[in-house]
Amino acid sequence: MSLPRFLTVILAAALLAAPGCGGRLPPPDPPNLAEAKDSLSRGNYWFGRGCYREAGRFFKEGEISARLSDDAGLIIRALNSQGAAALAENSLDRSANLLAQALELAQAQPDRPEADRILGNLAALAQRLGRTRDAEDLWRAAVQAAREAGASPATYQASLARLCLAAGRRDEFLALADEALAEARKTAQPSGPESLTLADALNLAGQAALGREDRAEAEKFFREALDLDRRMEYTPGLAQNTEALGLLLGDAGFLDRAFYLRLALGDDRGGARVLEALKKLAQGPETPVSLDVYRAALRNPAPYRLDLRCP
């Protein structure tokens, strides 16, 4: 299953000051707290590789260690991350239970830690269940919670924009796409989760440019998004942007790459969609494309799956 962009776990941050830069090392954490942080970091690594079962195992270990150290913030983070991993595995009941626990604990804390991320994941769950109105309400609540916490709401604005695009609400989509890009550019870093949010916002900006019939602007946004996702080796983003560029430019090379990325993610429906685009190119006199290899891969996609690299 492909990794939805709107699932939000906490990516690991460096905990020690760089040696030789004049910074003092922080005191060592006690054992359970150190183990909780380490397990959550390992879970994030496997989550980013699309190995959701392994990620969930480490997130659970992180929860156990966080409970032993009685760190409420890390307990909430571990529960939310487990919920995201369960949703990515399509274990919807388990995801709902974990996210409900996380939200209940977060709301009991004065600063409501992780509330925006939990609400964002609940919105993703609602959308998966076909409850579009609930998803919209939850993403709007996530936007508000992010602002209250002093965090960027760009991820949730992007999700709202996609919802409006799918619903044919053009004016709302264009406005939200513009807002998401503006917010994402404020916090973007050369690497890290902010750059992935920016890449998604850039893809939306490209779609908005197409809606305004500005193909040159769309290409610029799609290429910038692709560069960011390639830097982070973010497979869903690579699939999204190579497909967008292939369709925009009628380029078989981009579509070839998009096809195999879709198969890697377990998105056979997306692979079939790209194959249809390749078929149209194959009918043109100047772009001969042999489709047999793609048809064979779609019939037997197992060798191309990303989860072959999972433990």
Domain boundaries, the chain: 30-129, 152-233, 238-311
202, containing H or E segment: helix 193-211
Evaluate if residue 2 carries a pLDDT over 50.
no
Place 92 in a pLDDT band, splitting at 50, 70 and 90: very high
Place 9 in a pLDDT band, splitting at 50, 70 and 90: low
Residue showing tokens 């056979």:
268
Fold of 152-233: 1.25.40
Identical fold for domains 30-129 and 152-233, yes or no, is: yes
Q: Which of 276, 272, 277, 271 is nearest to 258 (CA)?
A: 271
What is the per-residue pLDDT for 204?
97
Using CA atoms, how far residue 281 sits from 202, 263, 309, in Å, is: 26, 20, 33
Place 5 in a pLDDT band, splitting at 50, 70 and 90: low
What is the per-residue pLDDT for 95?
98
Long-range contacts of 204-210 (CB under 8 A, 24+ apart): 204/158, 204/161, 204/162, 204/165, 204/177, 204/180, 205/177, 205/178, 205/181, 206/244, 207/165, 207/177, 207/244, 208/173, 208/174, 208/177, 208/178, 210/248
Rounded percentage of the chain residues whose pLDDT exceeds 70: 89
**Reported pTM:** 0.87
Q: Where do runs of H (alpha helix) occur along 49-109?
A: 52-69, 72-88, 92-107
- Phi-psi region at 189: left, alpha or beta (left = phi > 0; alpha = psi -120 to 50): beta
Q: Which of 34, 249, 248, 245 is nearest to 258 (CA)?
A: 245
- Among the listed ranges 21-30, 47-56, 205-214, 250-259, which one has the minimum average pLDDT value? 21-30
* pLDDT digits 0-9 by tens, 225-284: 999 999 989 999 999 999 999 999 999 999 999 999 999 999 999 999 999 999 998 886
Evaluate if residue 98 carries a pLDDT over 90.
yes
Instruction: Report the C-alpha gap between 278 and 290 in whole angstroms.
Output: 9
Cβ-proximal residues to 22 (8 Å cutoff; 6+ apart), any chain: none
Place 21 in a pLDDT band, splitting at 50, 70 and 90: very low
| Mean pLDDT of the 72-100 span | 97
- Phi-psi region at 209: left, alpha or beta (left = phi > 0; alpha = psi -120 to 50): alpha
Helices 72-88 + 92-107 axis angle, to 10: 160
- CATH class of the domain whose range is 30-129: mainly alpha
* pLDDT digits 0-9 by tens, 40-55: 999 999 998 889 999 9
Place 192 in a pLDDT band, splitting at 50, 70 and 90: low
Q: Where are the beta strands (DSSP E) in the chain?
A: none
- Among the listed ranges 197-211, 225-239, 280-294, which one has the minimum average pLDDT value? 280-294
Instruction: Using the Cα atoms of residue 236, residue 241, residue 244 and residue 250 in order, give the sign of their dihedral.
Output: negative
Are 244 and 220 within 8 A, CB to CB?
no
Q: Which of 106, 108, 83, 105 is nearest to 96 (CA)?
A: 83
